Structure 1
Amino acid sequence: MLHAKKLVLLLGCLPLLACQQPVGNSAEGVAPAPLVEQIDPQTEPVKAMRAHQQQQTMALADVGQLRAEVLQLTRDKSADNVQQCLVIGLGHKSCGGPSEYIAVSTKGHDESVLLKKISAYNQAVEAENMRKGMMSDCSVVMKPQVQLNNGQCELVKELTQ
């Protein structure tokens, strides 16, 4: 009888276990750990408010610093041919996909280092969106084409009709 109760209990928990998401990084859709220890606002309101402000400041500084590094790395858009030009998604919309696209030149850059830095920024933005419960308009930002214009990589602007 005792084994039957355990079996019923185990079978009752299986649907709950099947819905759990795997543990991993934010790229797998799992919310990142909080940046600071959670403090109960009911018992320690001042401490909780300070911790919340610290968390917001730390997160914004990290994302802002990564964005500045990416923009610095991608500032020089000079190229010898269009094959040295890439279109890279930058940022992250809450519904998925990049928030914008930028033209990038690989001339004189280690492409893998550049792509890793952009990926780190995109993951940081995604983590912040998840942490803050951000929402977006869910519109799809279409990936533009890239062209070489006077030795500079640039996005092709679509003509509106």
Structure 2
Amino acid sequence: MKFTIKIILLAFVLQSMQCEEDNINYNNITQEQLNIKKQEILNYISTFSCADASSCNSIAFGAKPCGGPREYLVYPNTVNQTTLETLVNEYHEMDSAFNTQTGAVSDCMVVGPPNTVGCDNGVCTILD
């Protein structure tokens, strides 16, 4: 009996130690959750600065209902690329799930990467 109780308690402890991101319910995404996740990504990017245009990159962001990204984010190459890609991939999964559950439609226009990015006062920006 004591062994069974210990196993049950251990299961509860392990369950409570899961990462918050692992608890995202992709079956019930809200616009507010998307907004919060996007702001988290923008806040992460804003903690880094650029020195010149050559230190800026872009990454596809979001998921249009017809496929392809909604937009591109620009960021300095001083960010941790793995962290940024993880955050952007989480957003993409959330956005795709939201599109499916809401039956979203879009113009299906292809959004290409920016032609020219620059560095303005330490912030990467799209110039075209």
Same fold, TM exceeding 0.5?
yes
After TM superposition, the structure 1 = structure 2 runs for residues 8-157 of structure 1, keeping only pairs within 5 Å, are 35=27, 55=28, 59-76=30-47, 78-107=49-78, 109-145=79-115, 146-157=117-128
Structure-2-length-normalised TM-score: 0.67
User: In the TM superposition, what is the alpha-carbon distance from 1:62 to its structure 2 partner?
Assistant: 2.7
Q: CA deviation at 1:142?
A: 2.2
Gapped regions of structure 2 (runs ≥ 5): 1-24
Larger radius of gyration: 1
The alignment partner of 2:74 has SS state of strand
- Deviating beyond 6 angstroms after TM superposition, the runs of 4 or more aligned structure 1 residues are none
Give the direction of change, closer, same or farther, for the CA distance of 1:140–1:77 in structure 2 (3 Å limit).
Answer: farther
Higher relative contact order (CA 8 A, sep 6+): 2
The aligned counterpart of 2:18 is: none
1:76–1:105 CA contact under 8 A, matched in 2: no
**Normalising by structure 1, what TM-score?**
0.55
In 2 relative to 1, CA 151–116 (structure 1 residues): closer, same or farther, beyond 3 Å? same
Aligned residue pairs total 103
Aligned equivalents of 2:112 and 2:31: distance in 1? Answer: 27
Confirm or deny: 8 A CA contact 2:72 2:113 kept in the other structure. yes
Write the letter of the residue equivalent to 1:79: C
Cα distance between partner residues in 2 of 1:151 and 1:68:
19
SS at match of 2:46: coil
Q: Which amino acid aligns with 2:64?
A: K
| Inter-partner Cα distance in structure 2 for 1:76 and 1:105 | 10
